[in-house]
């Protein structure tokens, strides 16, 4: 395949994005990243999912945490704590350089897409990583404790509050970042990575011209389920489905993307449910423990998309 677009959040999605990056020719992959987790913190603009993708594709990611850099040191955080600063969101010493440099370039008037491309290229990444939008789009989590800014809910409160819904503040004014619509229009396949549908993929779909480009696409759109055997590998996906009164299942994942999805990739643990799904389904092993798993799942997903072309 000559051009593939992947939609991705952070940790889980980035694993498949790495597999796609390694399976495709250099430059064939464009990853459109969730902008909803972004926020301003300690005077810096933090783009967690963009950064997780950058570190993962550059093979610099912290294998234990999934976010941040491997071999990280934490002197900045230790000193900040000593000084009585805010330490609930942990910025490693090396990672800090990313946020400082991005914030400096934003203040100098550069766009987030160009900045991300520049930083990714310095780290040797051949694929394109694009934020879905350069405008401010922030996920607000509606909970029984009130509306919470995303990182406040996710990191500070460790996803404990009961979720009742989501809002994407600023989405109505957000436009697709330069390159996003062109990439979707020119794609041979679109892959929705195994990311949380509510907080990782929906913020991307909330950008009107991104959604419109996906709706008019000619290429097949394949979703890799983030739900395996009714649970998520990591993170609050299954908890969110349940709190919203939905079943945490591959059937609900398919329903979530109804009208967009042409094919669903599900795990062998869910094989028995395949017959009930209203979309063509590929059953395989979707748990990605190492690079071989990531590459194999990427290869199988691309083959599956190819088999759906022209339907
Ligand atoms: N996630 C955490 O659970 N705790 C943290 O302290 C934290 C810091 C952090 C710093 C930079 C960065 O790029 C990501 C960071 N994340 C942290 C992950 C972040 O909250 C992501 O939004 C989630 O992992 C969801 O994708």
Strand order across the 281-284 sheet: 128-131, 29-33, 4-8, 189-192, 221-224, 263-267, 281-284
Residue closest via CA to ligand 1's atom 9 equals: 90
pLDDT value of residue 82: 98
User: Exposure of 31 by Cβ count < 10 A (0-12 exposed, 13-18 middle, 19+ buried)?
Assistant: buried
pLDDT value of residue 232: 84
CA 48 / ligand 1 centre spacing (Å) = 6
Neighbours of 166 (CB within 10 A): 19
Contact 177, 130 (CB under 8 A): yes
CA 280 / ligand 1 centre spacing (Å) = 34
CB-defined site of ligand 1, < 6 Å: 9-11, 37, 46, 48-49, 51-52, 67-68, 89-91, 95, 151, 154-155
CA 245 / ligand 1 centre spacing (Å) = 27
Contact 278, 306 (CB under 8 A): no
Give the atom of ligand 1 at the shortest distance from the alpha carbon of 200: 26
Sign of the four-CA dihedral 211, 18, 177, 159? positive
pLDDT value of residue 230: 86
Query: CA 24 → CA 8, 125, 132, 192, 204, distances in Å?
Result: 17, 13, 21, 16, 23
Residue closest via CA to ligand 1's atom 25 equals: 10
Neighbours of 272 (CB within 10 A): 9
CA 181 / ligand 1 centre spacing (Å) = 28
Please tell me whether residue 151 adopts helix, strand or coil conformation. Answer: helix
Cα–Cα distance for residue pair 116/60, rounded to 1 Å = 16
Three-state SS string across 195-221, please?
CCHHHHHHHHHCCHHHHHHHHCCCCCE
Which residue ranges form the domains of the chain, and what is each CATH number? 4-143+169-308 (3.40.50.10680)
CA 7 / ligand 1 centre spacing (Å) = 19
Residue closest via CA to ligand 1's atom 19 equals: 48
pLDDT value of residue 283: 98
Neighbours of 259 (CB within 10 A): 6
Cα–Cα distance for residue pair 18/174, rounded to 1 Å = 27
User: Exposure of 260 by Cβ count < 10 A (0-12 exposed, 13-18 middle, 19+ buried)?
Assistant: middle
Give the atom of ligand 1 at the shortest distance from the alpha carbon of 9: 26
Residue closest via CA to ligand 1's atom 8 equals: 90
Please tell me whether residue 257 adopts helix, strand or coil conformation. Answer: coil
Q: Of 19, 68, 1, nearest to 265 (Cα)?
A: 19
- State pLDDT tens for residues 252-261: 999 999 999 9
pLDDT < 70 regions, the chain: 311
The answer to whether the predicted template modeling score (pTM) of the entire model surpasses 0.75 is yes
pLDDT value of residue 233: 83
- The best mutation among 12, 36, 67 to test binding of ligand 1, ranked by most ligand atoms within 8 Å of the C-beta, falls on 67
User: Exposure of 304 by Cβ count < 10 A (0-12 exposed, 13-18 middle, 19+ buried)?
Assistant: buried
- State pLDDT tens for residues 112-158: 999 999 999 999 999 999 999 999 999 999 999 999 999 999 999 99
Cα–Cα distance for residue pair 55/23, rounded to 1 Å = 18
Give the atom of ligand 1 at the shortest distance from the alpha carbon of 88: 6
The conformational region for residue 27 under phi > 0 = left, psi -120 to 50 = alpha, else beta, is left
Residue closest via CA to ligand 1's atom 4 equals: 155
pLDDT value of residue 311: 61
pLDDT value of residue 235: 85
């Amino acid at each position: 395949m000559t051009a593939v677009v992947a939609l991705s959040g952070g940790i889980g999605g980035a694993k498949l994005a790495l597999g796609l990056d390694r399976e495709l020719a250099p430059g064939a992959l464009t990853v459109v990243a969730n902008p909803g987790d972004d926020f301003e913190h300690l005077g810096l603009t933090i783009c967690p999912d963009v950064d997780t993708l950058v570190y993962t594709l550059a093979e610099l990611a912290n294998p234990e945490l999934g976010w941040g850099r491997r071999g990280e040191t934490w002197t900045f955080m230790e000193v900040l704590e000593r000084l009585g600063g805010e330490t609930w969101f942990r910025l490693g010493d090396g990672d800090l350089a990313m946020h400082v440099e991005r914030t400096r370039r934003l203040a100098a008037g550069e766009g987030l897409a160009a900045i991300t491309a520049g930083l990714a290229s310095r780290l040797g990444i051949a694929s394109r990583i694009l934020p879905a939008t350069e405008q401010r789009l922030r996920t607000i989590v509606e909970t029984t404790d009130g509306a919470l800014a995303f990182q406040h809910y996710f990191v500070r409160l460790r996803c404990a509050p009961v979720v009742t819904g989501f809002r994407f503040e600023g989405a109505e004014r957000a436009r697709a970042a330069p390159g996003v619509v062109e990439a979707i229009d020119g794609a041979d396949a679109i892959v929705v990575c195994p990311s949380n549908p509510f907080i990782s993929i929906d913020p991307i779909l909330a950008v009107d011209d991104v959604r419109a480009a996906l709706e008019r696409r000619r290429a097949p759109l394949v979703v890799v389920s983030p739900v395996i055997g009714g649970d998520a590998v990591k993170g609050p996906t299954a908890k969110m489905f349940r709190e919203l009164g939905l079943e945490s299942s591959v059937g609900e994942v398919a329903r979530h993307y109804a009208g967009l999805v042409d094919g669903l990739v599900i795990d062998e643990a869910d094989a028995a449910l395949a017959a009930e799904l209203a979309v063509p389904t590929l059953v395989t092993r979707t748990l990605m423990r190492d690079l071989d798993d990531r590459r194999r799942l990427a290869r199988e997903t691309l083959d599956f998309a190819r088999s759906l072309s022209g339907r």
